[in-house]
A and B are shown apart, each in its own frame.
Chain A
Amino acid sequence: MKRIALFVTLTLGLAACGARTAETRNADMVVCAWIAGPDGFNPLVSVSSASTMIEDLIYTPLIDIGADLLPRWSTSLADRVDVQNGGKRYILHLRRNARWSDGSLLKAKDVVFSIELGDNAGVIESHAADFTLMRSLRAVDPSTVEITLASPSPPFLENALGSTVPLPEHILHRYPPNSPQEAAFANTDAEFSQHPIVSGPWRIERNVPESYLILARNPRYWGPKPALSRVAFRVYPQQDSLYAAVDAGEVDVTDIAPNLWRVHDRLRGNHAFVTWPWNVTFMLLPNYHDPEITWIHDAAIKRAMMYAIDRTFIIKGIMSDQADLLNGPIPSFSPYYDRSLPKYRYDPARARSMLEADGWRLQSGVRRKGTQTLRFTLKTGGATDAVAVNVGELIQANLRAVGIDCVLQNEELQTFFSDLHNSRFQVALRGRILAPFPDDYAYYDTKQTRANGGYNIGFYSNPAIDRAIEAARTAANPRATQRALDAYQQFAARDLPAIYLYSNRLGAVVPKNLRGYELTPNAPAALPMGLQFWRYASAGHSAAFLGVR
């Protein structure tokens, strides 16, 4: 008995020592955390958002998109772009001093190679849809690339080129772009995926999969050297454990989910809280081909639903104000947002009268007209997503109060995505990531069904909106672009291809004396970006937080 007691005390003592040294660390390192870690570092193959964020840090982007969703040339590979011939020719001038971590220079052939892969629909993470208008692509000399388009295309610079990550052609060239299957499954190149050759401000110092990852300064980076020598990323699969880790001081920077945002002021320690807009919009997307809900084609009903749903409570109550009202397809923080859009306020009485006026009479709680009944099944994905669950339940309650029967069906995530993919739903609660230039062509154009390579999973079809989107995509100058987008937004706010709910905001916790972080709306992993500019200020500097509300 005594020996056991001694052993136990010894173990606990050792553990206590371990714990005290457990989370002390170099003051020059910041610890970030997320729920799921990266699954590889080859942008062509990796799927997780953590991977995308790390890839943004370890590779020099062709065109870096800043926090204002416009190109930032000081951190891009292309330090100048000439647009000629009325928007149909792009000349990219690349920096001459960019290098890979194995010493070789970053050249135009890497850019051409990467664009070709991005254009190759056989590659997993390709974005061929962005390159449909590209007609030719060539490397003029080792630091110049020329691209010609069939017609001017406003989204081309920010969406297509802005999402291209130059990859080392001398390493990956054995996967020629015209061989879809080999390019898609670089399994003999798993080595590159785990130990990539990098070109950005950071390199991977240590990666323990699903546990933590440490980035260190890349000595071969051509640009501004990061102030911090290292950044660590830890994985906590459970939301609550992540939060506890922040409270216990193990984690400095992480995003805070909306359901935890309402209690963020209970965290102890030296934290600052920042919130900023995120270009993810949530909506109820109907399936216009479903025979049971043909009434959904009637825009008046959809407008009534917009009045019936208490979106203000969704934002203030469920999401702790971490969202903005969405009045159309483009969120309000976007520079392309039309401020004169009609606003739908929460007005259930108005919704009821609209439905009555349209001939829908209440019968045992549900409205009917002739043979049709206002009833649909709403699919949501993921039972552990508290926000999705609560939003679904609230919408059900709100709609039932005006006589529309909404049946909830929550599915496991993979099954949910599979059902969305195959258009097996009546109405789905779905979140959508917007590109820097809001181009809805693939989502709502009549021809862009899944079978034709688009994402119009709801089979929405409206020639007027098709024309508006096409006009925005091919406008010749910024004024024409804005006019076209305004027209599109006005149409969409009236015809309602989807019931627009809200656009998410992001919330994060950062150390009080951390400076230099950027709050970008297209942050891939919901964390503050601009890591190469992060630095610790000494105590005594006044706080100047970007975007704090």
Chain B
Amino acid sequence: MTAFVVRRLLLAIPTLIGITLLTFALLHLAPGGPALALAGEKASPAQVAAVTRALGLDRPWPEQYGKWLADLLRGDLGFSYIRQTPVVALIAQRLPQTLLLMLCAIAASIALAVPLGVYQAYRRNTFADRFLNVGVFIAWSMPTFWFGTLLIALFAVRLRWLPVGGLQTIDTPAFDWPSRIAHLLLPALTLAIVSIAGWSRYIRGSMIEQLREDYARTARAKGLPARAVLFRHTLRNGLIPFITLLGGTLPALFGGTVISEQIFAYPGMGQLFWESAVDRDYATLLGMTVIAGVLVILGNLAADVLYGFADPRIRYD
């Protein structure tokens, strides 16, 4: 097991280099650049040229990449000139918020997808199953921004149960739990809606397989109540492959935060990414790519390790 983990971590390094190299190349191939955004619309060509030189953007891009990589190895993720803040500080501000949001989304997804999938498996091919199927597909097919806007229109404007957006109530300096949760509910739900659909389908399929297994039928035949068999025995087995699915949806969740955070004014990584892309803030974009890449790789690794623990038939070496 240790050897497996070590090997995966070692493989992560060329992976990260690959990702960042690709991002760097794309950034520098794209038209425009941070110099103009930084200098502002009224800048003269001389000013823009001065900015370009000062940022080191007139050097060939492989040389810039080398410099960036060298800085990275020293722990320096760069400086965002547009925001006048080091990239590390920016990410340190935003990352915890997004992680919290993603955690809530995952919790919401699991809380809704698991019962849904189990119920659909238990009652497969009945009217209830088909009806829920349709509902799940509709959720799967809905554009997320539309869903988010509808949630705001209903819960925030019409019913005034929840706030429209933000991190927490602005008057409270400390980490105020109740208002945090209130502000997380709608964005987490918007983020989760697609995973709920996908995961419940997957769990349904996986549970159907488990329910057909001999051990399930034997247990039932022995007289155990259906509920016990469902939840104490088959669910455990049915959820095991689901763990890898969890790891695999991390990138999708990260991506989903872009729109979700925009709509709900939630200052996280997604919003930072979008603004940096618009402003051509190369340093921040690259820094975020590295961090996102690291997190996704770690997440997948954790999922695979968990999978190994959960399923005794799997052996990593």
**Interface residues, chain A, CB within 8 Å of chain B?**
1, 4, 8, 11-12, 14-19, 21-23, 25-26, 29, 31, 39-40, 42, 45-47, 121-122, 124-125, 127, 180-181, 184-187, 190, 193-194, 206, 208-212, 214, 232, 234-238, 240-241, 244-245, 247-250, 412-415, 417-418, 420-421, 450-451, 453-455
Contacts and interface: CB of A to CB of B under 8 A. Distances in A.
29 contacts: A1-B115, A11-B181, A12-B185, A14-B181, A15-B182, A18-B180, A19-B161, A21-B179, A22-B179, A23-B163, A26-B171, A47-B38, A47-B82, A121-B46, A187-B79, A190-B79, A209-B267, A210-B275, A212-B170, A234-B265, A235-B265, A237-B262, A238-B262, A238-B263, A248-B157, A413-B278, A414-B32, A414-B280, A415-B31
A454 B149 CA distance: 44
B192 to A, nearest CB: 14
Interface of B: 31-32, 36-48, 50-51, 53-54, 79, 81-86, 90, 93, 111, 115, 149, 152-153, 156-157, 160-167, 169-171, 173, 176-183, 185, 262-265, 267, 271-272, 275, 278-280
Contact of A22 (B36, B169, B272): B169
Nearest to A42: B84
B40 A47 contact: yes
A236 B165 contact: yes
Contacts of B160: 248-249
Of B44, B86, B161, B271, which is in contact with the most chain A CB atoms at under 10 Å from its CB? B44
Contacts of B31: 415, 418
Given A14-B181, A238-B265, A418-B31, A209 B84 contact: no
Given A23-B163, A31-B170, A194-B84, A211 B267 contact: yes
A232 to B, nearest CB: 5
Contacts of B152: 240-241, 244
Q: State the 4 A-B residue pairs at the shortest beta-carbon distance, nearest first.
A: A18-B178, A18-B182, A193-B84, A40-B84
B164 A18 contact: no
A206 B173 contact: yes
A330 B137 CA distance: 57
Given A187-B84, A414-B32, A414-B279, A248 B176 contact: no
Nearest to B44: A453
A277 B173 CA distance: 38
A15 B166 contact: no
Contact of A19 (B41, B85, B163, B271): B163
B265 A244 contact: no
Contacts of A187: 79, 81, 84
B117 to A, nearest CB: 14
A234 B166 contact: yes
Contact of A190 (B41, B84, B161): B84
Nearest to B156: A248
A417 B81 CA distance: 19
A12 to B, nearest CB: 8
A530 to B, nearest CB: 22
Contacts of A39: 82-84
Instruction: Give the dominant DSSP class at A's interface.
Output: mixed
Contacts of A238: 262-263, 265
A19 B39 CA distance: 42
Q: Which of A26, A47, A413 gathers the greatest number of chain B CB atoms within 10 Å? A: A47
Nearest to A19: B182
A248 B40 CA distance: 35
Nearest to A37: B267
A391 to B, nearest CB: 19
Nearest to B149: A240
Given A15-B178, A241-B263, A450 B278 contact: no
Contacts of A420: 41
A371 B53 CA distance: 45
A157 B294 CA distance: 55
B265 A237 contact: yes
B170 A19 contact: no
Given A19-B182, A210-B271, A234-B170, A418 B51 contact: no
A8 B93 contact: no
B166 A244 contact: no
B93 A124 contact: no
Given A19-B179, A421-B41, A451-B44, 5 more contacts: A22-B179, A181-B50, A212-B167, A241-B264, A418-B32
A124 B38 contact: yes
A204 to B, nearest CB: 14
A207 B106 CA distance: 30
Contacts of A412: 278
A40 B80 CA distance: 11
A198 to B, nearest CB: 16
A243 to B, nearest CB: 9
A184 B267 contact: no
A453 B44 CA distance: 5
B115 A236 contact: no
Nearest to B153: A244
Contacts of A16: 161, 182
Contacts of A26: 171
A196 to B, nearest CB: 11
B36 A414 contact: yes
A237 B84 CA distance: 20
B111 A250 contact: no
